Amino acid sequence: MKIVAQRVKYAKVEVNKKIVGSIDNGLMLLVSFTQTDTEENIDYMVKKVLSLRIFDDENGIMNKSVIDTNGSILSISQFTLYGDATKGNRPSYVKALNGKEAIKLYDLFNEKLRNHIKVETGIFGAEMEVSLLNDGPVTIILEK
């Protein structure tokens, strides 16, 4: 499982020119799965995302989590995180989990996050346009 987490002032996702998810102040997550991912990976990543101390405290030090700051999460499915372009210029996606299985894990991931925080999403498998204002900029790559 791979996640690109970006600290954002705002983020939104559109499908067919309609906003289907948006947040102010929080994390925008690009989320991808591979064949070996399990619920254990999801539990680890949920805990990691919610505990990641990348928000400023009162002294301007990155010492607070998205929970501490009453932030939100915009979660976007992104199979291309498992793209491999080491051979040639056209990425191979054989390491990405197929859509039928990936959507189950993606939905479970978001459900587990929602037990703790407000979560907005895009539409799995849809052509999406994502807009955001990266705060910092702060971008962290997580992998389990």
Q: How high is the pLDDT of residue 77?
A: 97
Block mean pLDDT (10 aa), the chain, length 144? 98 98 98 97 98 97 98 97 95 96 98 98 97 97 96
Beta-carbon contacts of 22 under 8 Å, excluding residues fewer than 6 positions away, are: 10, 11, 12, 13, 74, 120
Percent share of the chain, pLDDT over 90: 100
Beta-carbon contacts of 46 under 8 Å, excluding residues fewer than 6 positions away, are: 109, 112, 113, 116
Q: How, if at all, do strands 72-77 and 119-121 pair?
A: parallel
CATH 3.50.80.10 for domain 2-143: yes
With left for phi above 0 and alpha for psi between -120 and 50, is residue 52 left, alpha or beta?
Answer: beta
Catalytically annotated residues = 78-80
Q: Could you state, in order of their start, the residue ranges of all structural domains in the chain? A: 2-143
